[in-house]
A and B are shown apart, each in its own frame.
Chain A
Amino acid sequence: MIQKKICMLGAFAVGKTSLVARYVKSMFSEKYLTTVGVKIEKKLVKVDNQDVMLMLWDLAGEDEFNKVQTSYLRGSSGFILVIDGTRHTTLDVALNLQKNLQESFGKLPFILVFNKADLVNEWEIDPGTIEMLQASGNIVFRSSAKTGQNVEEVFLTLAEMMVK
């Protein structure tokens, strides 16, 4: 069986832990509990009839004082960059991370996930910005860890990108 390591990245409180919990345990909690360090979850998926074990590395969110430890990222096959649609600053954090990732790890598959789609009325990020990112070749999803919208799709799409 193949194993693939995926890192969940993005600003704090965008929903990284929630997306993993929704995907792996079908759970969601409104309560916000900060992640420190890293927690690894596993999930078996099938890509082209082949078993792939996804190792999901849920990292602590980035803020002014805590930059993401690059040692955590070693050995990754792909990244999920999570953005909170209701907070514009989280897009800047994600795009900056993406730029740094490319400098250190070259072109690895990644997906931009605009989370909290259930709160779309409160979004600060406008559809135009998302379309622009899509038009420039990025793989983009709007998701909700709360309702489950697009959560499976995000992980499956990345799994397919990594295996090919």
Chain B
Amino acid sequence: MLPSPVVDHIIGMAIKDRSPAYLCSDKRGQLIGWGGELEVYGIQGLKLKEPINIQLPFLEGLLPLEETSCLLPCLKFNEKVSADVHIFPDSNCDWILLLNVTSLEMEQILRQQKINDLNLLRQNQVKQVNQLSHLRNEAITPSVVEIAVMCLKLNGLTLIESPISAFSKFNLYIRSITSTVADEAGIVDNIIGNLIIAIFGIVPSTSTPIKNAVRAAIRIFETIQESSLRENLTEPAIVIVSDKNLLGSFRFKNQNYLSIIGGSIERAVEIQQRAVSSQILVDKETFEKLEPSLQKHPQIFKNS
């Protein structure tokens, strides 16, 4: 048990600047009481014994509560005020508690705006590099870049009974992998048979190519586990290799194609033969560069 001055202090802190206000509804959804700083939220003209969801439309469909309580974080009451809305049941009524979170929300908006702007920028860059590598007619200036190559093998497709369903799964798989790779600043460079090759380090990123590749690999496993893709298919085997390579473009059949020369792609494909389903096999030099926590990750293995 905490001493009461401590409890009082905690409660005082919890409601400081948060303009608590409450409403109470009976189990038929009629308003039976209210109090606190309701004017802060622009709530006025309430009528006793009348339906609460008509008076306060944000409660539509929520009352009466069935056992469990419910939190609606950061609900905007007008342009200026937002509140966390806590709804919890009592023996013969439901309580609705409002706590002002406007100042916290301002900080969160600034942070989230940055994150979303960066994500949009990233998606745009990936799109541009993809266009460059497959469609454009411009050559790019050759350079040396540190890249990470991910070689992913899709297993089990032949086990599916019908060819049509095999290819529809293959399509789904590739789409899901391409978007996860793009999220981590990678591009899918090529698809050969059931091998997918992705390159990290061409699209600018605040992180390193290796970290991005490993994060993408872990997220690919997570996504596949969450989604329906899992049915009938064994998980892919993933290999990650990194090194300095030459980046440039070559001309073939009247088009320029992005090209990476330097052996990393070949090595990734070669190591892939030793890779096992649901494992991320990392070449020795790259493995040494991983953070200790990733070296101990249950799905990450060193190729030796």
Contact = CB atoms under 8 A, between A and B. Distances in A.
A75 B62 contact: yes
A107 interface: no
A150 interface: no
Interface residues of A, number: 36
Interface stretch (B31-39, B66-74, B193-201, B257-265): B66-74
A111 to B, nearest CB: 19
Contacts of A3: 53-54, 57, 60
A6 to B, nearest CB: 10
Contacts of A47: none
Nearest to A122: B127
Contacts of B75: 37-40
A50 interface: no
A38 B74 contact: yes
Interface in B168-212: 175-176, 178-179, 182-183
A119 to B, nearest CB: 13
Contact of B179 (A33, A40, A88): A88
Interface SS majority for chain B: helix
Question: Range of interface residues on chain B?
Answer: 35 or more
A78 to B, nearest CB: 11
Contact of B116 (A63, A75, A87, A92): A63
Given A63-B119, A77-B61, A87-B123, A92 B73 contact: no
A138 interface: no
B179 A55 contact: no
19 contacts: A3-B53, A3-B54, A3-B57, A5-B61, A12-B116, A32-B116, A32-B120, A34-B109, A34-B112, A36-B112, A39-B76, A40-B57, A40-B58, A55-B58, A72-B72, A75-B60, A88-B178, A89-B183, A92-B179
Q: Which 6 A-B pairs have the closest CB atoms?
A: A75-B61, A37-B74, A89-B179, A39-B76, A34-B113, A75-B62
Interface of A: 3-5, 12-13, 32-34, 36-40, 42, 53, 55, 60-61, 63-66, 69, 71-72, 74-77, 87-89, 92, 96, 99, 124
